[in-house]
Amino acid sequence: MVCLERIAILTGGGFAAVGKEDQASVEDSQKVIGHGAVQSIAEMLPHGSLFAVLVLGVFCTAGVHVQAAGNTPGSPRGSPYRIDLAQYNQALLPRVRTLLEAAELAEEESVPLFELLPEYRERLSGNFLIDGFARARDATRCLTCMSTSYLFLSLYNETIVDGQGNTERVWTIARRICRLLGFKRYLCEGVVSLNGAVIEYVLRHRTPFPEPEDICQVFLQELDCVRDGRNIIEAALFRSVEITPPDEATLVASTRDQPGSCPSADLPPHRKYRKAPLTIVHLTDIHYDPEYVVGVNADCKAEACCRPLPGLGVATEANAAGYWGDYRDCDTPWHGVVDVMEHIRRQHPKIDAIYFTGDIVHHFTWNTTIETNEDAMRQVFDLMKHTFPGIPIYPILGNHESHPANLYAPHTVEQSYRTDYLYNFIAKQWADWLPIDKIRPTLAEGGYYTVRTPFGLRIIGLNNNPCFVHNFWLFYSLDYYMPQLQWLHDTLLAAERANERVHILAHVPSYDDSCFVGWTREYRKIVERFAHIIAGQFNGHSHVDEFNLYYKRDDPAARPVSVAWNGGSTTTFTKLNPNYKVFQFDPVSFEPLEQETWMYNLTEANLTPDSRPSWYRLYSFRDYYQLEDMSLDSLHRLVLQFARSEPHLERYWRAKQKYSDPLLQDGCTGTCLRNALCAIVRTEHEDESACQMLYEQAAQPDVTVSNN
């Protein structure tokens, strides 16, 4: 968010922070124009995006030069200017070089780089397209990304490949790019120091050397910054999971009853007669900040706030960090972490298990160490053990648990770059809950595991953080995660043969555009193949209360085959109320019978810091949506209702945002709501077929849901 603030200063204007669905609405009307780009920067520079600062640091510059030139008449709609990327880059490089090689930069010096190319000012102020990039959904952001990548890679080649300098010169350049964009000195120093060695290793060992558009196609996957005739994420270029087709008995069993449910005659005999539902709590995204300071200035103009930072302004009543947390870019104080655990223990005396889907560590990604990350994780895990003695907890890793954040290395890299330190740490921490000796091989290989629970359910805990598009080990290898996906398939195949039911835990939702399509394509194939034994999927990462339906790739008009539930977050980061979920599961099929979302309103809680927050049940899923049950058929009818009725869809959006005061004030209409619905039924980047089919079905009032 610091980038947004600096842009407002540089351009003499303000900006409006918007939520993800609102963002999509803005982008929908500005896919190829620069005007109004300040608003679109919010999604362009995601929180935790270290690569954006180091290699794609001029991201924000597009917002600067386009917005600042906004008063200059551009070309009319319908006759957009065309930008030749090579000419633009060649013009920009020598002018940026002068700035980067200056003797010194003043502490707050920022240069609106659009001023360096006055000949482009008019073209970039109105409609424009990039020659050779017909699919680009946002010309401004794609141009910025590719130009920045070109600058950095060119200067890297001069320094390292051509031998005109040393590594330190590269990182001096990176710091200068960061500083010129208006980032604080401490942030630039921290980001470069933490990530420089890994970036250098990736660039030294990547074959072939990456092109700027290659970087942007992955990092900004949702924008399709794809050069015509060069698509590095085409399925044909990737290895595939070897899918074992079902045998005849499996086909008969999976079609005899409702799809996605186990035939009753084939259920394990020791589970047939248990009547009490299983109660499982879903916790995720705690983001504990050990240095949170109540009352500090929470409007810090940085990636994360609510702790003392260099140059931080004086706190006022308006900007002071709240006692229980803050709607601004702030993580969770320790007393907030303790409160949620103790509340769950008091409110829910009967808990059969807890799913924890990752992210304990804070968002100050420029200021982490292995030791401080481990201290935070150990503190939270110890609290869980103390608060929930005797209750099985099934944890997985989040993208912030690694150091640096987001980086989960392949096993093929040199030992000092691997993530073994983290896998060894969790093996010790999770030993109270998991049979470590049995799962140690896969924990050591990549931080994933499978166990059979005492109540007969098989749990698969994935580490799918390598798929996060800000994990720049992806630029070293775009498919190094394939062994884990093949293991997932093989584990599900064994579960199928053993007549087991399965829950899958994974931090990053595979349906999210921030999960690399190379992963989501293969994962979707696996889900479709084993949908009849996958009773549920559980994610975190997005911090919002959402669910996702998986439809068959080759038959999106049919009923969904699986559902994934997101736990939301106990952190308030950003603009959200803390929450957790409680599921009731059928003790035989292990399918959900009911889901409750519990939360408290942060505004109200901070009014009475001397009292514990007033947690309450926000809703129960079936009552809130008036469903007969939580079957896949019912969920499909629900999303059809969303497609037919905008008020019903808006009600879902409100629940998704956890009735956050600032987000409800922003609101969501039109394209924003459509995007919210499409997000429910999209399970793979670029595949909007299920959403299109949904709206087509919604236009037919007599449409019914088939069980076939």
Q: What is the CATH number of the domain that holds 594?
A: 3.60.21.10
Contact 96, 115 (CB under 8 A): no
Q: Phi/psi at 203 (nearest 5 deg)?
A: -70, -35
- Sequential DSSP letters for 149-162: HHHHHHHHIIIIIS
Question: Phi/psi of residue 379, each to 5°?
Answer: -65, -45
Distances (CA, A) of 355 to 391, 393, 448, 565: 11, 6, 14, 12
Taken as a whole, the chain contains a residue count of: 708
**Reported confidence tier of residue 113, pLDDT bands at 50, 70, 90:** low
Q: Which residue has the tokens 């013009």?
A: 91
Which pLDDT belongs to residue 576? 98
d(CA 183, CA 5): 10
Query: Tokens representing 533?
Result: 């034994």
Q: What's the CA gap between 417 and 198, in Å, rounded?
A: 7
Same domain flag for 401 and 547 = yes
For the residues 436-447, what does the mean pLDDT come to?
Answer: 97
Whole-angstrom distance, CA of residue 485 vs CA of residue 515: 14
pLDDT in tens, 546-574: 999 999 999 988 899 999 999 999 999 99
DSSP 264-300: GGGS-GGGTT--SPEEEEEE----B-TT--TTSBS--
- Do the domain assignments include residue 673? yes
- Asked which of 88-92, 111-115, 421-425 is least confident by mean pLDDT, the reply is 111-115
- On whether residue 201 sits in a domain, the answer given is yes
For residue 184, the 8-state DSSP code is -
Concatenate the DSSP letters of all residues of 480-527 into one string.
TTHHHHHHHHHHHHHHHHTT--EEEE-SS-TTSTTB-HHHHHHHHHHH
**286 plus 170 within the same structural domain:** no
Q: Are residues 286 and 398 in the same domain?
A: yes
pLDDT tens digits, one per residue of 606-619: 999 999 999 999 99
Rg (CA), the chain: 25
Structural contact between residues 183 and 52, judged by C-beta atoms closer than 8 angstroms: no
pLDDT at 344 over 90: yes
Separation CA 533–CA 516 (nearest Å): 25
451 and 597 assigned to the same domain: yes
Helical (H) or strand (E) element with 459: strand 458-461
3-state secondary structure 322-387: CCCCCCCCECECHHHHHHHHHHHHHHCCCCCEEEECCCCECCCCCCCCHHHHHHHHHHHHHHHHHH
Cis peptide before 269 (omega within 30 of 0): no
73-77, 452-456, 646-650: lowest mean pLDDT where?
Answer: 73-77
Q: What is the DSSP letter of 431?
A: G
pLDDT at position 120, please? 83
More confident residue, 50 or 369: 369
* Same-domain check for residues 184 and 287: no
What's the mean pLDDT in 149-161?
Answer: 85
pLDDT at 104: 65
The closest alpha carbon to 529, from 507, 577, 561, belongs to 561
Amino acid at 28: D
Q: Which token pair is 97?
A: 């070089």
Asked whether residue 178 carries a pLDDT value surpassing 90, the answer given is no
The answer on 445 and 349 residing in a single domain is yes
pLDDT, tens digit, 9 for 90 and up, residues 501-516: 999 999 999 888 899 9
- Where is mean pLDDT largest: 38-52, 298-312, 384-398? 384-398
217/340 same-domain check: no
Taking the CB of residue 252, how many other CB atoms lie within 10 A of it? 11
Residue 325 lies in a domain: no
**Number of domains present in the structure of the chain:** 2
Q: Mean pLDDT, to the nearest integer, of 143-165?
A: 82
Lowest mean pLDDT among 375-384, 405-414, 511-520: 511-520
Based on the fold, state whether residues 284 and 219 are members of the same structural domain. Answer: no
Q: Is residue 707 part of a domain?
A: no
Task: Render pLDDT for 588-601 as a digit per residue (tens, 0 to 9).
Answer: 999 999 999 999 99
Under 8 Å between Cβ of 138 and 35: no
| Of 401 and 257, the one with more pLDDT | 401
Domain co-membership, 179 together with 282: no
Same domain assignment for residues 192 and 288: no
pLDDT of residue 462 exceeding 80: yes
**Where is the domain boundary, 223, 240, 258?**
223
What average pLDDT does the chain have? 84
Domain boundary among 196, 223, 250: 223
Other Cβ atoms less than 10 A from the Cβ of 393: the count is: 19
Between the alpha carbon of residue 431 and those of residues 7, 376, 383, the distances in Å are: 48, 17, 15
Going across the sheet that includes 502-505, the strands are 449-452, 458-461, 502-505, 534-539, 562-566, 547-550
Q: Which of these ranges, 11-20, 143-152, 519-528, has the smallest mean pLDDT?
A: 11-20
pLDDT at 78: 53
**Which residues have C-beta within 8 Å of that of residue 331, sequence separation ≥ 6?**
287, 288, 289, 292, 304, 306, 325, 362, 363, 571, 573
Per residue in 662-708, pLDDT (tens digit) is: 999 999 999 999 999 999 999 998 899 999 999 999 888 665 544 44
User: What is the pLDDT at residue 164?
Assistant: 59
Whether the per-residue pLDDT at 254 is higher than 80: the answer is no
More confident residue, 430 or 3: 430
How far apart are the C-alpha atoms of 671 and 29, rounded to whole Å? Answer: 9
CA distance 48 to 368: 12
- Please determine, for residue 649, whether its predicted confidence score (pLDDT) is greater than 90: yes
* pTM exceeds cut of 0.75: yes
What is d(CA 631, CA 622) in angstroms, rounded to the nearest whole number? 10
Q: How confident is the model at residue 208 (pLDDT cuts 50, 70, 90)?
A: confident
pLDDT band per the 50, 70, 90 thresholds, residue 110? low
Please state the three-class secondary structure of 220-267 as a single string.
CHHHCCCECCECCCCHHHCCCCCCCCCCHHHHHHHHHCCCCCCCHHHC
Query: In the Cβ-directed half-sphere of 310, how many Cα atoms lie within 13 Å?
Result: 11
Q: Is the confidence at residue 431, as pLDDT, over 90?
A: yes
User: Does 459 score more than 90 pLDDT?
Assistant: yes
Say which residue, 630 or 699, is predicted with more confidence.
Answer: 630
- Domain membership of residue 301 (yes or no) is no
355: β partners: 282, 394
Of 187, 202, 223, at which residue does a domain stop?
A: 223
Task: Quote the tokens at residue 385.
Answer: 């053990």
Range with lowest mean pLDDT among 55-59, 113-117, 524-528, 539-543: 55-59
Structural domain includes residue 159: yes
Q: Are residues 549 and 694 in the same domain?
A: yes
Confidence of residue 148 (pLDDT cuts 50, 70, 90): confident
For the chain, give the percent of residues with pLDDT over 70.
81
CA distances from 689 to 20, 213, 234, 636 (A): 21, 26, 18, 15
Residues 523 and 444 in one domain: yes
Which one of 183-192, 219-228, 654-663 scores highest in mean pLDDT? 654-663
Q: Is the pLDDT at 327 greater than 60, yes or no?
A: yes
- Which residues sit opposite 458 in a β-bridge? 452, 502
Work out the average pLDDT over 436-460.
97
SS (H, E, C) 12-27: CCCCCCCCHHHHHHHH
The structure tokens 């019912």 sit at 634
Question: Which two three-digit tokens encode residue 18?
Answer: 């918007």
Under a CB-based contact definition with an 8 Å cutoff, are residues 81 and 123 in contact? yes
Tell me which of 113-122, 290-299, 380-389 is least confident: 113-122
Domain hosting 650: range is: 277-292+331-699
- In whole angstroms, what is the distance from residue 628 CA to residue 309 CA? 52
The answer to whether position 302 is within a domain reads no
Average pLDDT over residues 457-465: 98
559, part of any domain: yes
Rounded CA separation 174/472 (Å): 16
Is the confidence at residue 264, as pLDDT, over 60?
Answer: no
pLDDT, position 33: 30
